[in-house]
Amino acid sequence: EIVLTQSPAILSLSPGERATLSCRASQSISSYLAWYQQKPGQAPRLLIYAASNRATGIPARFSGSGSGTDFTLTISSLEPEDFAVYYCQQRANWPPLTFGGGTKVEIK
């Protein structure tokens, strides 16, 4: 089973700042990685798939990069609605599909 490790666990930033979130895989997963955003009491929302492709309707301030074992989600300038928990998910080696433990982006 592929383990995804996200860091940091908590990221404290102010609106307008740049957020950089990391996801590391326990073995190479090529570009088979997605990012989701989850707000309290809500379902996850797909942001990025195949490492760098924005899902439908996702603002351009969200970008994904990486391949192999190291991946990054960047939010170029945080908006108030971006404060949430972010999860990465791999589909390279399944079952099972696996998720990272999450990074909480909180207001500083």
Q: Which residues bind another protein (CB under 8 A)?
A: 32, 34, 36, 41-46, 49-50, 55-56, 87, 89, 91, 94-102
Residue with smaller CB distance to another protein, 66 or 100 = 100
Q: How far is the CB of 15 from another protein (least distance, A)?
A: 26
73-108 residues labelled b (16+ CB within 10 A) or e (exposed): bebeebeeebbbbbbbbbeebeeeebbbebbbbeee
Residue 71, exposed/middle/buried by CB under 10 A (0-12, 13-18, 19+)? Answer: buried
Residue with smaller CB distance to another protein, 65 or 77 = 65
Q: How far is the CB of 80 from another protein (least distance, A)?
A: 21
Residue with smaller CB distance to another protein, 17 or 101 = 101
Structure tokens at 7: 């860091």
Residue with smaller CB distance to another protein, 61 or 91 = 91
